[in-house]
Chain A
């Protein structure tokens, strides 16, 4: 790798870090906004945080949001919380691939594989 190639690779990696940082911030603030809205709706409807909430049902999530049910916003906020780190890794797969770092891209793919396995095993236990 020539000095110019190394410089270009470092510049691309710096761009990737910036994109990852933006994604993390966007995901976190979106999640906090959704959760805050859910908490306001929960209080407005007279529910207590210690009440048992309806379980997560992806099929009814949109209906819950349209009906302004607190559980809909809270569940969506939590899903955004959990998806954001995986989205950060997915962006890294592309970023490292473009930067010519196949081993880092493969590492990112393997991380996503472990997360997906967690989802599968979590679902299997329900």
Chain B
């Protein structure tokens, strides 16, 4: 009972922090389960994939109804994130867990540095041109044009495909939603406004993470007993976080969170070096 409660509370905390800071829970779920509950890393990644699908499911619906997420663009890119996730899921079962731990530590340090970087340092370049008010292309034709939305036009689609494959590989390999890769690719490379890129990335998590999760599930990499309380907690936490986000000063939270990430990365490095 105590362990289930701890997992639930840990999941709630992860859900709240992830939601407040705009991160998927995966970045925190994997260290929570491996360092806190001593689950094998690969199993923690499988649990994390299930959790990120659950948390994205409810919010993606809201983003779609508010017309913030771009369904067409999301589906075209998720074909490539799914291919990447397929590759990542297969590779994950070939790699030594210490290699996975090392990769995860690198990811944590990257995110910590990103958090401490001044906001607004990256801005989207000018978009190719406006579309009409309904989101249809200005000239009413062309597949690429139809992927654009009100006020922006997609560009560098091939680069988006490559980035999406990378996001899928990262997702399945490390148990995250992949937004860390997808959002910058869409925003900076493809010229999608940040708000729409974030919402579209959230929509894409379902297919991206589930493609990898099927491989984990069918190869015995997901334990339902450990997944249950964690998924419940993360879902609750994300719901709470979304409701209180506008009342929280995120500046101090970001610094604190970056410190936690660096500490966690150090623990992961120790694990990678076989010291745990």
Contact A25 B61, CB 8 Å, known A17-B67, A49-B226, A85-B206:
yes
Question: Once A and B bind, how many residue pairs between them come within 8 Å at the CB atom?
Answer: 194
- Asked if A56 is at the interface (CB within 8 A of a chain B CB), the reply is yes
- CB–CB B7/A92 < 8 A: no
Q: Which residues of B contact A123 (CB under 8 A)?
A: 218
The docked-state distance in angstroms from the alpha carbon of A86 to that of B211 is: 9
- Asked if A88 is at the interface (CB within 8 A of a chain B CB), the reply is yes
Q: Which residues of B contact A9 (CB under 8 A)?
A: 136
Q: Which residues of A contact B214 (CB under 8 A)?
A: 82, 115, 118-119, 122
Looking across the interface, which residue of chain B has its beta carbon closest to that of A114? Answer: B82
Q: Which of B116-124, B152-160, B228-236 lies at the binding interface?
A: B228-236
- CB–CB B76/A49 < 8 A: no
- Asked if B41 is at the interface (CB within 8 A of a chain A CB), the reply is no
- CB–CB A32/B141 < 8 A: no
Looking across the interface, which residue of chain A has its beta carbon closest to that of B72? Answer: A104
A contacts, CB < 8 Å to B: 1, 6-7, 9-10, 13-14, 16-18, 20-22, 24-25, 27-29, 31-32, 35-36, 38-39, 42-43, 47-53, 55-56, 70-71, 74-75, 77-78, 81-82, 84-86, 88-89, 92, 101, 103-104, 107-108, 110-111, 114-115, 117-119, 121-123, 125-126
- 27 A-B pairs in the complex with CB atoms less than 8 angstroms apart: A1-B140, A6-B140, A14-B67, A17-B71, A21-B62, A25-B61, A31-B54, A35-B227, A47-B225, A49-B7, A52-B223, A53-B225, A77-B228, A81-B213, A81-B231, A82-B217, A86-B207, A89-B207, A92-B75, A104-B75, A111-B79, A114-B79, A121-B86, A122-B89, A122-B218, A125-B215, A126-B220
